[in-house]
Amino acid sequence: MSKLFAVSYIDFFNNDLVTEFHRADNWQTALELHTEVDAEDTAHIRSMDIEDAKEEAFNCDWLFDVVEVPTDD
């Protein structure tokens, strides 16, 4: 069963923070569903844990956070 995630993304070029809600099985899929995220940005971090992935994103001039939203499902 999918979970609800709040996914936030910002890059260092336009500095616009965009938060979206997505249903997914895991944080990686939720991140990939974000409209601002390019598949090329996430392909190499998919196998990392979230903290290592955040560090890698920072090294590539963007930041993200993915938080599971509690629901009554």
pLDDT of the residue at 19 = 98
Per-residue pLDDT of the chain (73 residues; tens, 9 = 90+): 799 999 999 999 999 999 999 999 999 999 999 999 988 878 889 899 999 999 999 999 999 999 999 988 6
Identify the pLDDT of residue 66. Answer: 98
Q: What is the pLDDT of residue 41?
A: 79
Q: Where are the alpha helices (DSSP H) in the chain?
A: 27-33, 39-43, 50-59
Q: Which of 14, 48, 12, 15 lies closest to 31, judged by CA?
A: 48
Q: Give me the pLDDT at residue 42, please.
A: 87
Domain ranges of the chain: 14-68
CA distance 1 to 57: 28
**pTM listed for this prediction:** 0.91
